[in-house]
Amino acid sequence: MSLQPINTKSTVMDRREVKMISHKNKLYIILTLLILSSFTVQADNETKTKEDPKYLITINGNKDIKSKKYLDALGVESKSFYQFWKDDNSYIVKSKVPTITSTLKEFLDSKGYYDAKVSLQSSKPVKVSIREGKPTLIKAIEIKSNFNIDKIVTFTKGGHFEASKFVSIKSNIKQSLMKSGYCQYKLDTKAYVDLPTHSVSLKYLLNKGELCHFGDTHITSKPKDISDKTILSRIQYKKGDVFNSEKITRSFDMLNQLDAFDSGTLAPAEYNGTIVPMELGLSPKEYLNQFRGGVGYDTAIGLRAQLFYERRNFMGEARKLTVKFHHSDKSKYSEINLYSPAIISFGDVSFDLYTKLGYSNYIYDTYKENKGYQNIKLGYQKDEINFYVGFALENIDIKMRKTDPTIIAGNFLLLYPFMEFTYDGRDSKINPKNGYYISAYTEYGLDYKPGASSYLKFLLEGRYIKSFDDFTLAAVSKMGVIDSLNGDIPASKLFYAGGAYSNRAYGEKKIGITTTSTTTASLGGKSWLNLSFEADYKLYENIYGALFFDSTMLNKNGYDFNGNFINSLGVGIRYITPIGPVKLDIATNIADTDKYGIQVQIGQSF
């Protein structure tokens, strides 16, 4: 009997680093590369380039593992199921041909096929013959641990053994320990493989040790014009907190949002015992100015042009200045924003300052709105909590284009304090799979002069996401109310629905008061209720299919949710990218299928 342990003992914590990612690859570059790579068509069985010719490759003889898995292991580009326009054949570059046998043998070893045979039948075209042999089955699993790892060890007795999965499970155990504050664990994992019988016995021995706590954070390097106070205001833990690797990651996410650093590391310093001092090093961003511009066409607003300028680390202290311009036939706006982090601090609590000044001009079907606006707010961000409070001033001028007795024309000068709170308990902000999200927003129009518009407006939103392997269920609920206290309220302050974030059978803000299940008024409502339910299922690799239901009610009266609902049903496709899903949704009004909408969106709506 030949017993061979394939992994070794690991004690204490590995030194970990969280590296900052500089977002230099912009969205349009990513999408362009995706499109170009998807539409690459091979015309010949052998396509020659100056660097490396390509040969046709085929896999045969395999039974348990699909041919595409072998091609992926070789780094061979092959046709995906949805790429109906592409050549069915697969090609490998000439320089990789000599490594085919060794690469696939290593791949089969990682899958537990230790006596597999791989051979090349010919070199042009390349024909690979595979005899997988018997898989290695799990004979016994021994777990001795004072930390619950039952859900992490996903092997089952009698199931197939994969060395790659064994290594992954060990890594997941370490990550779970670090998330729970145990940095002085002792972990011993072994897999004893019996080659003649194609069986394996697994052993997991774990002592979690004592809880660890954060010590001081030492800044080893940073830009000269950014103070320690500003940098440390982004750190999501404090001295004495239970050690948690996720808090380190969140801290760097917050530092990255300042957009003032090109790179950096946050890692435990050398230590003995359970107190973990941290070291933080940051390098200044090399390019502080960013310009963007573009011209496009939208069916709702026609030809449009946009310009964007951003100055990072404006006058030091990681301030950010942004200037935006937008021009189209139906909408125009210009806006200046200044962000100042950690402007006010109370002990460990820091508030950021946001200021905005802008002008907009929007042309609607029945009226035209000119608006000058400015607001200032303080914001607090910590862990899952975001809190903002501020004041806003809006000077709104409405002129009629067509006769509509429901729209009130004239000048409105609004002054209102506002407050916003969010609690984000999702497992990811980019593409969440589990968790919940709650937000609340309110503003109060002040009765500061005779005839001024005085009102109370609030909006509540809740999201819940639950996943079962490749199947994700999500529910989103939105409720809004406007209470008119004194004077008239400009039409743009009312609630409207439609678009990617409410009812996807209609365009952005195309739903006003819901008069019936198929018709709406042009004027928005004072009571709004929107419900969305969605089910996503993985179809292939990074491609998901979706089935969803949206329901919308808008009533002309405040605190009245007894109006008519517009219900829509739709299907969609999601392509998952590092910056979030690219979504295509098609929905129709259930009561009138002639009313439908097509929505394209980047980012998740739940």
Give residue 78's pLDDT band: very low, low, confident or very high (50, 70, 90).
low
The verdict on 273 and 412 lying in the same domain is: no
Average confidence score pLDDT of the chain? 88
Can you give the pLDDT at residue 5?
A: 46
| DSSP letter (8 states) at residue 256 | H
Other CB atoms within 10 A of residue 142 CB = 10
Final residue of a structural domain among 131, 160, 186:
131
Q: How far apart are CA 125 and CA 586, in angstroms?
A: 44
Share of the chain above pLDDT 90, in %: 73
The verdict on 466 and 570 lying in the same domain is: yes
Q: State the SS3 of 528-578.
A: EEEEEEEEEEEEECCEEEEEEEEEEEEECCCCCCCCCEEEEEEEEEEEEEC
Q: What is the pTM of this model?
A: 0.78
Give residue 244's pLDDT band: very low, low, confident or very high (50, 70, 90).
very high
Q: How far apart are CA 338 and CA 357, in angstroms?
A: 9
Q: Is residue 48 predicted with pLDDT exceeding 80? A: no
Block residue for tokens 């230099």: 24
At 238, give phi and psi (nearest 5°): -135, 165
Mean pLDDT of 382-396: 94
User: SS3 of 133, please?
Assistant: coil
Mean pLDDT of 481-490: 92
The verdict on 145 and 94 lying in the same domain is: no
Can you give the pLDDT at residue 11?
A: 35
The verdict on 83 and 197 lying in the same domain is: no
Distances in whole angstroms, Cα of residue 367 to Cα of each of 399, 410, 494, 521: 6, 11, 15, 14
Dihedral angle over CA of 43, 45, 48, 53, nearest 10: 140
Q: Which domain CATH number covers 81?
A: 3.10.20
pLDDT tens-digit series, residues 267-278? 999 888 899 999
Which structural domain range is residue 100 located in? 40-131
Mean pLDDT of 581-605: 93
The verdict on 413 and 542 lying in the same domain is: yes
Q: Is residue 466 predicted with pLDDT exceeding 90? A: yes
Query: In this structure, are residues 162 and 183 in contact, taking their beta carbons and an 8 Å threshold?
Result: no
Mean pLDDT of 81-87: 61
Q: Which domain CATH number covers 523?
A: 2.40.160.50
Can you give the pLDDT at residue 87?
A: 66
Query: In this structure, are residues 409 and 398 in contact, taking their beta carbons and an 8 Å threshold?
Result: yes
Mean pLDDT of 93-119: 93
Q: E strand or H helix at 460, and its extent?
A: strand 454-468
Can you give the pLDDT at residue 52?
A: 76
The verdict on 69 and 84 lying in the same domain is: yes
Can you give the pLDDT at residue 304?
A: 86
Q: State the SS3 of 157-198.
A: CCCECCHHHHHHHHHHHHHHHHHCCCCCCEEEEEEEEECCCC
| DSSP letter (8 states) at residue 86 | S
Block residue for tokens 């046998």: 101
The verdict on 555 and 448 lying in the same domain is: yes
Q: How far apart are CA 324 and CA 338, in angstroms?
A: 12
Mean pLDDT of 231-257: 93
The verdict on 190 and 274 lying in the same domain is: yes
The verdict on 56 and 146 lying in the same domain is: no
The verdict on 319 and 216 lying in the same domain is: no
Residue 98: asked if its preceding bond is cis (omega within 30°), the reply is no
Q: Domain for residue 501, yes or no? A: yes
Can you give the pLDDT at residue 194?
A: 93
Can you give the pLDDT at residue 303?
A: 85
Give residue 84's pLDDT band: very low, low, confident or very high (50, 70, 90).
low
Final residue of a structural domain among 264, 287, 310:
287
Domain count, the chain: 4
Q: Which domain CATH number covers 190?
A: 3.10.20.310
User: SS3 of 289, please?
Assistant: strand
Give residue 579's pLDDT band: very low, low, confident or very high (50, 70, 90).
confident
408-432 burial code (b ≥16 CB/10 A, e <16): eeeebebbbebebebebebeeeebb
Q: Is residue 128 predicted with pLDDT exceeding 80? A: yes
Distances in whole angstroms, Cα of residue 477 to Cα of each of 380, 482, 512, 550: 25, 17, 18, 10
Can you give the pLDDT at residue 480?
A: 98
Q: Is residue 1 predicted with pLDDT exceeding 50? A: no
Q: At what angle do helices 163-179 and 100-110 cross, to 10 degrees?
A: 60
The region of weakest confidence among 118-122, 262-266, 312-316 is 118-122
Q: Is residue 150 predicted with pLDDT exceeding 80? A: yes
Q: Is residue 24 predicted with pLDDT exceeding 70? A: no
Q: Domain for residue 5, yes or no? A: no
Q: Domain for residue 294, yes or no? A: yes
Mean pLDDT of 440-448: 95
